[in-house]
Every structure is written in structure tokens, then in C-alpha cells.
Amino acid sequence: MKETYGENIKTVSVLMGHASSAYTLDLYAAYAPNTGIGIGKRYMSFLRAAA
């Protein structure tokens, strides 16, 4: 996950004053519970298109 609602995670990290983008991802990962669902749907669409 490198972007959050279109924003680069490094940019978000700097704006929030975090020491690293890894910290930002760790901190906010719990607030994105539907991320896995979206990834799964996009992956399945990719597989269907490739078939």
C-alpha cells in the first residue's frame, strides 16, 4: 500500500511528522479494514481479463 486516497504514503508521513512511512502505515493500517476486499476484487478482475 503506497498510496492513501490518492496521496503518496511518504507525503502523508512527512505531513504528519512521522519518522518514517513504515510507521505511518503501521499506525493507520487498522483504519483501512476494507482494503483487502478492494485488492481482492481488483485482482479477480485482472485474472478474468487475462483469461
pLDDT tens digits, one per residue of 1-51? 445 466 788 888 999 999 999 998 888 776 666 666 677 778 788 888 887
Q: What is the pLDDT of residue 33?
A: 62
Listed by start position, the domains of the chain span: 3-50
Q: Which pLDDT value is given to residue 9? A: 85
Give the pLDDT confidence of 26-39 residue by residue, as tens digits.
887 766 666 666 77
| Number of C-beta neighbours around residue 24 at 10 A | 21
Task: Tell me the angle at which helices 9-16 and 21-28 cross, rounded to the nearest 10 degrees.
Answer: 90
Q: Which residues pair with 3 in a beta bridge?
A: 8
**Contact (Cβ atoms closer than 8 angstroms) between residue 24 and residue 30:** no
